Amino acid sequence: MVKSRLKSRRRQDQGFKWARVSMAILATIGVIDTGSITFNRWGWIGSLTCPGGAEGCDKVLNSPWGTVILGNGLAIPLSFFGLISYLAVLFLAILPLLPAISKKKADLTRKTWWGLFFISCGMAVFSLILMGLMIFEIKAFCFFCLLSAAISLTLLVLTIIGGGWDQPGDLIFRGLLVSLAFLLGGLIWASAANPQKQQSVASLRGVAPRVETTSTSAAIKLAKHLEAEGVVMYSAYWCPHCHEQKEIFGKEAVSNLVIIECAIDGVNNQRELCERKGITGYPSWEINGQLESGIQSLEELANLSRYQGPRNF
C-alpha cells in the first residue's frame, strides 16, 4: 500500500520543477534572440549589435537559408519560426506551474513534458543543420545563430534529464522518429533553398550575379527618376534578396540605379559609408533621408519617391 501511494505521488509530480523553470528562462532568452532578429528583418526595430562582427550576421541572416519562401511570393524570416518554437516551449514549461491549474494536473504535466521533448528534439536537430550550413556553405560567423543553437540543445538535455521518464525505451524510440523526420525535412528544405543562381555568385568572388530580366520602359523611367532624386540602394554582392530586387527592375533599369556595395570583400565596396548610415540589412533604400529595409516593389518605390511617370511596371 505504501509503495503504491509513493508510485502514485511520483506520477503526479512527474519531472523536476527546477528543470521547467530553467527551460522557461532559456526559452525567454530564445524569444528575445529570435524576436530581435525577426523584428529587425521586418523593420520594426533598429540595428542590432552582433558580437563578432555585423558582417557575418548579415551574411548568414540574408543568405538563401535565412528566409522561408512560401506561396504567392510570401517570404518569412526563418527566425520567425524559431520565435514561435521558443514561445511554445515557454508556454508548455510554465503551464503546469500556474496556480490556476489544479484539475488533472498530473495528466497535464505528463503531456507537457512530451510536448517539450518533441519540440526541443526537433529544434536541436534543425539547429545542427543550420550550423552545418553556416560553417560549410555560408562560411560566416553569426552569434545570434550560435546562441539559438546552444539554447535548443540545452533545452533537449534539460527535457531528457528533468522529465522524470518512466519508460526510457519509449522516449528513445519516439525521439528517433522525431529526429529523423526533422532531419529529412531540414535537409530537403536546405537543398531547395539553395537556388541555382547562387552558384554564379560563388564563381566570381566579390561580384554580384548578372541581372537576366528585361526592363519595361516604365521601370527604366522609374530608375532614372530615383537616380535624379538621389535615391540609393545599399547592397551586398552575396545577398540573394538584393539580386531579387535588381531582377524586379531588369538589367536596363539597374544600370541607372545608384547602388552602394556594402560587403567588406565586395568589389568597389563603400563599407565605411554603409556603417555610417547604419545599414544592417540588405537591400536597404535611402529615400529622402529615410531608410527602407527589404525588397520593395516598383509601385512602393514610386510612391516613396513621388514618381509621377507611367506605372505600367
Domain with 161 in it: what CATH number? 1.20.1440.130
pLDDT of residue 201: 43
Residue 192 near residue 163 (C-beta atoms within 8 A): no
172 and 211 together in one domain: no
Residues ≥6 apart with Cβ < 8 Å to 243: 197, 201, 208, 209, 211
User: Is 69 within a domain?
Assistant: yes
206 and 119 together in one domain: no
Among 194, 211, 242, identify where a domain stops: 194
Mean pLDDT per 10-residue section of the chain, whose length is 313 residues:
43 78 98 92 77 77 78 74 98 91 81 97 96 89 94 97 92 96 93 59 67 91 95 92 92 94 90 90 92 91 94 89
pLDDT of residue 148: 96
pLDDT of residue 102: 66
Q: Which domain holds residue 131?
A: 2-194
The residue with cell 525588397 is 295
CA distance 122 to 180: 9
User: Is 313 within a domain?
Assistant: no
pLDDT of residue 195: 54
Measured in degrees and rounded to the nearest 5, phi and psi for residue 238 equal -90, 0
pLDDT of residue 293: 87
Q: Is this structure's pTM higher than 0.95?
A: no
User: Is 162 within a domain?
Assistant: yes
42 and 136 together in one domain: yes
pLDDT of residue 198: 46
What distance separates the 2 farthest-apart alpha carbons in the chain?
88
User: What interhelical angle do 78-94 and 105-132 show, nearest 10?
Assistant: 150
Among 194, 226, 257, identify where a domain stops: 194
Find the CATH number of the domain harbouring 248: 3.40.30.10
140 and 274 together in one domain: no
pLDDT of residue 200: 46
pLDDT of residue 204: 52
Measured in degrees and rounded to the nearest 5, phi and psi for residue 201 equal -65, -40
User: Is 84 within a domain?
Assistant: yes
Nearest alpha carbon to residue 305 among 295, 290, 284? 290
Structural domain count of the chain: 2
